[in-house]
Amino acid sequence: MLVKILRNGIGGIWQLGDFITRPTKMRRSPEAQLEVDNACQQLALYQLPRCPFCIKVRRNMHKLNLPIERRNVQPGSPYRGELEAGGGRVKSPCLRIEENGEVRWMYESNDIIAYLQQRFA
């Protein structure tokens, strides 16, 4: 119980810090942004609002101006079961990537950020 309270408290501080110090979004031409928007429709981030690693990924998504759907995996959420069934475990963050009719599940915040940087930066 105490660990949960500490984790949520620290997560709330991280969340506030992210909001206050959020970087500016990458600017693209309208045509280029439309291409990015369309590509992002094939992605979904399974995340928890106060998880520091999720905040790190969301911060990078904001910086790269990526409108990736966020799916909250808190207990009781239908996305939690979807993550476990598709990815094999409930761990956040996890990026669901659909390419060429195949679905990949990418865990680990640094791997997700590297993928997004390589694909969209």
Rounded to two decimals, the pTM is 0.86
CA distance 4 to 9: 8
CA distance 6 to 3: 5
Cα three-residue angle 24-29-32, rounded to 5 degrees = 100
Fold of 2-120: Glutaredoxin (3.40.30)
The series of mean pLDDT values per 10 residues for the chain, 121 residues long, is: 68 74 87 96 95 94 97 94 94 95 96 97 87
Q: Count of CB atoms within 10 A of residue 72's CB?
A: 16
Res 19: pLDDT: 74
Res 6: pLDDT: 65
CA distance 22 to 8: 20
Tokens found for residue 32: 């280029």
Res 7: pLDDT: 66
> Could you state, in order of their start, the residue ranges of all structural domains in the chain?
2-120
Q: DSSP E strands: which ranges in the chain? A: 43-47, 69-72, 94-99, 102-107
CA distance 1 to 3: 5
DSSP element (H, E) containing 60: helix 52-63
